[in-house]
Amino acid sequence: MIGARACIGFDAATQSYTVAVAWQGTAATFSPASWPTANNPAVARNCALGLYGADDAMRRVVWSSIMVASLTGT
């Protein structure tokens, strides 16, 4: 991975955390920022935005979202 960066985000609406890793690809494809918003968290679309070329077509991103259970007793 060339120039890897990690990004962590929290979505209060869904109470979930997202961890994304972005890096520079070896050939231009398309910008991850152009992904539709459904099922693609903002932290993943925007992780390392603008760091791998002017048109962002060299940026690659993978992510995982998790929910942490609330273990408080009632």
pLDDT single digits (tens) 15-69 = 899 999 999 999 998 888 777 777 788 898 899 999 998 888 999 999 999 998 8
User: For the chain, how far is it from start to end, CA to CA, in angstroms?
Assistant: 46
Classify residue 51: in a domain, yes or no.
Answer: yes
The amino acid at residue 37 is T
Token pair belonging to 38:
């459904």
Q: Is residue 74 part of a domain?
A: no
Residue 72 lies in a domain: no
Residue 32 structural domain: 2-67
Residues facing 5 on adjacent strands: 22
Q: Tell me, yes or no, whether 73 lies in a domain.
A: no
User: What is the tens place of the pLDDT at every residue in 3-12?
Assistant: 999 999 998 8
Q: How many domains does the chain have?
A: 1
